[in-house]
Homo-oligomer: A and B are copies of this chain.
Amino acid sequence: MGDPISLLSERFVKFPGIGPRQAQRFVQFLLRTTPSARRELANAILALSGTHRCGQCMRYHTGEEATCAICLHPSRDAALLAVVASDTDLDALEKSSAYKGYYFVVGGTISLATERASVLREKELLKYIAERIDAGLIEVILAFPANPEGDYTGSQLKAIIGEKYPGIRISSLGRGLSTGSELEYADPDTLKSAFSGRR
């Protein structure tokens, strides 16, 4: 029912950032590959069902252990815990080598339109902070995007964490000129942050 070419094209259209034209191009690309290449792609997609969230940081991983390789790594800095919105943000921080502490993926930001986040894992975060305090945690870093929803999510989490663990330092990522910025094109908020965060 329905032909495979259109059916597959309709599925690719649901992929983030993919329109009908590129979806069709994906199908044509797959038509030109070999049946065995298509089988391997299908298997790779099915294998995702073998992945699971790390019991600590909540990111997806595929290790045999319940806990992921980052959380198990012996040389992470136990004094720091970065709370991030998504696996993608965690990956970005990890790749930058800017940070060596632990992570927690809270699962999104709060939409300002609805003031609701589909899956914000607040309870799990508070529980995990307790665990990390036992392991030497000193500071929680709210590492959210520098936009209104990131700010709002950060301020909400700051309130919740501060109330429950008043002894813990809570910080946010620094704002200011990003690499390559010209003053001429910087927005007033960024310039204000750049002045207040000067050093």
Interface, chain A (partner B; CB < 8 A): 3-5, 7-8, 11, 15-17, 21-22, 24-31, 35, 38-51, 60-63, 84-89, 91-93, 95-99, 141, 143-147, 171-184, 186-199
Contacts and interface: CB of A to CB of B under 8 A. Distances in A.
Closest 9 CB pairs of A and B: A174-B197, A174-B176, A4-B47, A96-B188, A42-B42, A146-B177, A173-B194, A3-B62, A176-B176
Contacts of A5: 48, 51, 60-62
Contact of A16 (B26, B48, B144, B186): B26
Contacts of A96: 186-188, 191-192
A173 to B, nearest CB: 4
Given A16-B22, A92-B186, A175-B177, 15 more contacts: A4-B47, A4-B50, A16-B26, A21-B184, A30-B48, A31-B87, A92-B184, A98-B191, A143-B183, A146-B177, A146-B179, A173-B176, A173-B197, A176-B178, A177-B178
Contact of A91 (B24, B40, B47, B192): B24
Copies assembled: 4
Contact of A25 (B27, B40, B88, B93): B88
Contacts of A4: 44, 47-48, 50-51, 62
B177 A199 contact: no
A197 B197 contact: yes
